[in-house]
Amino acid sequence: MMTSVDGRIDCPMVGQLSTDEYYIALEKLGPCSKLSGRITTALECSAVKEESTPMEGTSIGHKSVCVASKSDEYTIIVDTYGKLRWQEGEADGYPLLCIVSERVSEEYLETLRTLGISWIAAGTERIDLPEAMELLHEHFGVERLAIVGGGHICGGFLEAGLIDEVSIMVAPGIDGRKGQTAVFDGISRMECNPYKLKLESVEQWETDIVWLRYKIK
């Protein structure tokens, strides 16, 4: 993730503080599938046709997996209620794979099937992330995953105990605006028990960006 000094990740804001450093660092992490949430995807993914309300129809109501294509890497999207409409089955050069809840309609999943988009449906009211990750490994062979945003997706994976490394690039600037999403956001627990980290490396770039890598303790 690329963040300001105060931990904010608004894309237009960090775009004024950095160029392609984030993508260079992501490449250095090595081959892995990339996962992002609905909001980030709607803003940045050219394969999205539009964002709409959930498609009406009969909820699938059970765990489901569709392997439309096999690949060494996937572009994975977390879209709980199936609000994104797609115009093609690939993004960033890799097959799309949507993770949704069991509340999505059979009709929506059929639109994914028609476009050759794989899916995992897991969880009733919200996505069951641990189960979804098990299915991702079992059916798609994904061994390594980079969570690239946004803040609520990062927070959800952290809260579920599914993150083993944190890679953050701190850009030379401060946002400071009220209500902006942080790198990790939306965690439901109220007690003040921070997640502890172990610093693995620090790298200062010529553009005054600092790349920090941590392991979860």
**Rounded mean pLDDT of 35-53?**
96
* pLDDT, tens only, 116-159: 999 999 999 899 999 999 999 999 999 999 999 999 999 999 99
The Cβ of residue 60 has, within 10 Å, a number of other Cβ atoms equal to 20
Q: What does the alpha-carbon distance between residue 91 and residue 113 come to, in Å, rounded to a whole number?
A: 16
Token duo for residue 82: 């199936």
Q: Specify whether the backbone of 4 is left (phi greater than 0), alpha (psi in -120 to 50) or beta.
A: beta
Token duo for residue 62: 């059970």
* pLDDT, tens only, 181-206: 999 999 988 888 899 999 999 999 99
| List of domains in the chain | 1-31+158-217 (3.40.430.10), 33-143 (no CATH)
The Cβ of residue 161 has, within 10 Å, a number of other Cβ atoms equal to 11
